[in-house]
Amino acid sequence: MHYRTLGRTGIKVSPYALGAMMFATSFGNPDPDDSARMIHKALDAGINFVDTADAYGDSEEVVGKALRGRRDDVVLATKFGRQVGDDPHHQGASRRWIVTAVENSLRRLGVDHIDLYQLHRTDPATDVEETLSALTDLLRAGKIRAIGTSQSLASDIVEAQWVAERSGLARFRAEQAAYSLLNRGVEREVLPLAERFGMGTLIWGPLGQGLLTGRVRKGERNDLRRTHLLKHLTDERRLDVVEQLVPLAAEAGLPMTHLAMAFVIAHPGVTSALLGPRTMPQLDDLLAGVEVRLTDDVLDRIDEIVPPGTNIGTLDQNYQPPAVHDAGLRRRPLAERAAA
């Protein structure tokens, strides 16, 4: 396994990272011992980057237990910010919640520090200076080693960098973004910005959250449990593109999963891409593609099918800023809408 530096942190991480969302027993793998075996297999294969979140059910507990005795071998990342429980304060990026959330994650993981602590979603209700101030204090206290964001808009990345410089606070050192053969929008601004500011990037959804596994084909039934829950798995535009990518993968002599993963980590702005297996066979399949290297000819063909910087549809779980999901922010009061 080759290793890449996470931005300018000096932390060395594997190009494949292990995403732990599907290790939650409530909606992922119900057997924590099986999840532990997968974690150990990934570590033995050279993967040293593990990512989870406080909002992923009991994933942090499962990961923490599996890492006992191997903590020093792992760059451990977790996230905060999404709703946890029923208390309205148990979410967001306020100092009040951050200092509580980090202690909860440390306890569940059974560790004394977190290597990368990430804001799971932008919090429009909290000034980014307050967020950075609280995270800076945690860095100085030794409870976290680096800080990052997830699904940020390009404008949010720039604002946070400016605020950190102006106020003498710690800077976000990593961004976790959605990127795949079907969702290339981050190539326009987010990935170039990350490179400009010396931020590492951790990619989620490199398999299109199921569409790029080879198990979902247009006009055919599939065994994915999420098909009836996620709209992007039945989006005709996305399925049409998959049907163009399948023969390309076959011509290259690759399974769809290997084509998809190799495409993502070929971008110079990408540090690591998350594997999100639920079962051992899924992990085995993904690990078998670690040596795949896409040629320029294959990448050119991909560019013809999905032009650089474009998205084919939208992932259900992708962050939508308030101005997009709240109609009231796009519409003046009725009495003020006319020009005269």
| Residue range 96-117, pLDDT digits in tens | 999 999 999 999 999 999 999 9
Grade residue 122 by pLDDT with cuts at 50, 70 and 90.
very high
Q: Which has the minimum average pLDDT: 131-135, 138-142, 220-224, 325-329?
A: 220-224
pLDDT, one tens digit per residue, over 306-332 is 999 999 977 767 777 888 878 888 899
Question: Minimum mean pLDDT among 25-34, 74-83, 206-215, 268-277: which range?
Answer: 206-215
**Tokens (6 digits) for 87:** 């208390």
Instruction: Place 36 in a pLDDT band, splitting at 50, 70 and 90.
Output: very high
pLDDT band at 229 (very low <50, low <70, confident <90, very high): low
Q: The domain that contains 259 carries what CATH number? A: 3.20.20.100
- Does the structure show a pLDDT above 90 at 210? no
| Domain coverage including residue 280 | 4-336
Instruction: Give the pLDDT confidence score for residue 35 in this predicted structure.
Output: 98
Our count of domains for the chain comes to 1
Question: Quick check: 144 and 102 in contact, CB under 8 A?
Answer: yes
Q: What is the pLDDT of residue 231?
A: 64
Per the annotation, the verdict on 56 as an active-site residue is yes
Average of per-residue pLDDT across 24-38: 97
User: What pLDDT score was predicted for residue 225?
Assistant: 55
Match 């398999």 to its residue by tokens: 207
In this prediction, residue 78 has a pLDDT band, given cuts at 50, 70 and 90, of very high
- Read off the pLDDT band of 163 (50, 70, 90): very high
> Tokens for 35?
């999840």
Considering the chain, what is the average pLDDT of its residues?
93
What's the mean pLDDT in 167-175?
Answer: 98
Confidence of residue 15 (pLDDT cuts 50, 70, 90): very high
CA–CA separation, 221 and 108 (whole Å): 39
The pLDDT value given to residue 34: 98
Above 80 in pLDDT, residue 226? no
pLDDT at 289 over 80: yes
Average pLDDT value for residue range 229-256: 87
For the segment 183-192, the average pLDDT, to the nearest whole number, is 96
| Residue 196: band (very low, low, confident or very high) from pLDDT cuts 50, 70, 90 | very high
The reported pLDDT for the residue numbered 317 is 73
The proportion of the chain whose per-residue pLDDT surpasses 70, expressed as a percent, equals 95
In whole angstroms, what is the distance from residue 266 CA to residue 112 CA? 34
pLDDT band at 220 (very low <50, low <70, confident <90, very high): low
DSSP secondary structure, 103-139, as one string: HHHHHHHT-S-BSEEEESS--TTS-HHHHHHHHHHHH
- Read off the tokens for 209: 């959250």
Q: Spot the catalytic one: 3, 16, 56, 117.
A: 56
What does DSSP assign to residue 73? G
Q: Which residues are CB-contacts of 207 (< 8 A; sequence separation ≥ 6)?
A: 180, 213, 257, 260, 261, 276
pLDDT of residue 224: 57
What would the mean pLDDT of 183-198 be, rounded to a whole number? 97
Residue 291 pLDDT > 90, yes or no?
yes
pTM: 0.92
For residue 64, how many C-alpha atoms fall within 13 Å in the half-sphere facing its CB? Answer: 18
